[in-house]
Amino acid sequence: MEKRYRKMHRKVNGKIREISEGGVLLELPLRVAEAIGSLPQLIREMAQETGILLMLAAMDSECVRIAGPKNAKNPLRAANWWGSDLRPVYYDKQEVIIDRPRLRGKNNKEIPLATYEAFRDPKGMKESVLKNMVLGISSRNYEEAVSGFIKGYGIKKSSVSRHFVKATAEQMRGFLERDLSGLDLVAIFIDGIDFKGHLLVVAMGLDRDGRKHVLGLHQGATENTEVCKSLLEDLARRGLDTGKDYLFVLDGAKALRSAVTRMFGAETLVQRCQAHKRRNVLKHLPEKHQNAVDARISAAYKMSDYDESRKSLDLTVRYLEKINPDAAASLKEGLEETLTVHRLGITGLLRKTLATTNPLESCFSGVRTTTGRVKRWRGDDMAQRWAVAALLRAEKKFRRVKGYKELPKLAAVLQQKSLDGKEAAA
């Protein structure tokens, strides 16, 4: 994006004139101009008083451009100044009353100001409310949060709640209909999050460049096969290529594995989350054995060679059979799929990224923080709306995963698997 450079000239009357080609010329008080220079250019990010002054200055400047300077005699002017009136604008988290200038044309009709119309857009109010609700300002204390700014209206709890419901509902509809056909994915993480009795199964994709994308979510009473199957069917409906090979990273739930098998086939590559496996095994053990057993399992997963890692885990299974058969059975169940990344020859930071569902769990921590402030849930759709708002906010902050430079190796493995499958079918 081309930067727009400005020239600032100080005048003898203590004002600064901003000169820009094709734009509006603003004469601002010196203290305001200096403040603007030290603040971000977006008006919503400016300090309240500075933003209001800039807003009014922009309107005055537009009036001068159309009707000429106020109180100056000019028989050729196309319009006349016509006083002012109190009108609302949406600005800085609330609806604010300003004394806006007015113009009257030669036909005695009012001339609308483009600057005023821009600040009247209620969408700005909804986005502001949404941002602050997700960031932690609840509808109960929203009015108190903006009390330090200039007096406005439309900030009662019921008003803010309506804005938030409308904004999140629109956001959720857009999210649930996002087109996925343009994503070049190599791995898909699926896990469930349970908060306040509401369960959501969430899918997140990893593309060839190492960037994460929240693909979708589905709500259900439990993390059962039908819920997971509905999620995958929805992803396919929105463009996910079901004929392509992916590496699925799952939390270990049998329902998830069954749903993936139904949709993508029994030969689909699945990496069972090693962190979930360790936690499940430790739940069967008394506290005195937990540290030692966890250290053994962790050391085995850190080994770079598949055969060595498998041999070490088999030894741990035999060790557990002597002290707790249930813990041994828990480790043995699905053991091979916890070593998929080892078997594929993926090493280094990328293997650490793909060995667990932690990339998705980090999103869940933000969802739990956001939804933890809700004291009363009003229907299942409310939980889903809040979850979508939190997930999308987390998505904006996503960075490339660790080890993304090694993703071409995974992509090559998946491509070869696809070719082998086509040859076998032929």
User: Does pLDDT of 189 surpass 50?
Assistant: yes
pLDDT digits (tens, 9 = 90+) for 368-380: 666 666 666 666 6
Strands 7-10 and 15-19, bridge-based pairing: antiparallel
Mean pLDDT, to the nearest integer, of 5-19? 42
Selected residue with higher pLDDT from 203 and 199: 203
Assign 423 a pLDDT band (cuts: 50, 70, 90): low
pLDDT for the residue numbered 95: 73
Span 151-161, pLDDT tens digits: 454 555 555 56
Q: Which two tokens stand for residue 262?
A: 């139904």
Closest CA to 149 of 128, 165, 168, 170: 128
Is pLDDT at 279 greater than 90 in this prediction?
Answer: yes
Cα–Cα–Cα angle for 397, 400, 403, rounded to 5 degrees: 150
Quick one: tokens of 250?
Answer: 């799952």
Biggest distance spanned by C-alpha atoms of the chain: 103
Contact 3, 20 (CB under 8 A): no
With vertex at residue 76, the alpha carbon angle to CA 71 and CA 78, rounded to the nearest 5 degrees, is 80
The DSSP secondary-structure symbol of 153 reads B
Total Cβ atoms within 10 A of residue 415? 13
Exposed, middle or buried: residue 416 (CB in 10 Å: 0-12, 13-18, 19+)? exposed
Averaged pLDDT score across all residues of the chain: 77
Q: How confident is the model at residue 123 (pLDDT cuts 50, 70, 90)?
A: low
DSSP state at residue 113 = P
Q: Classify each residue of 158-189 as buried b or exposed e, where b means 16 or more C-beta atoms within 10 Å of its C-beta.
A: ebbbebbbebbeebbeebeeeebeebebbbbb
Residue-wise pLDDT tens digits, 383-414? 777 777 778 878 888 889 999 999 998 998 88
Count the alpha carbons within 13 Å of 352 in the hemisphere toward its beta carbon: 8
Residue 140 has pLDDT above 70, yes or no: no
Q: Is 45 exposed, middle or buried (0-12, 13-18, 19+ CB in 10 A)?
A: exposed
320 pLDDT above the threshold of 90: yes
Most confident of 51-60, 123-132, 372-381: 51-60
Residues 176-185, mean pLDDT to the nearest whole number:
89
In DSSP notation, 318-336 reads HHHHHH-HHHHHHHHTTTG
Residue 63's pLDDT band (cuts 50, 70, 90): confident
Q: What is the pLDDT of residue 293?
A: 94
Q: Please report the pLDDT score of residue 365 as a whole number.
A: 72
Domains of the chain, residue spans: 14-120, 122-177, 185-425
pLDDT band at 217 (very low <50, low <70, confident <90, very high): confident
DSSP state of 222: S
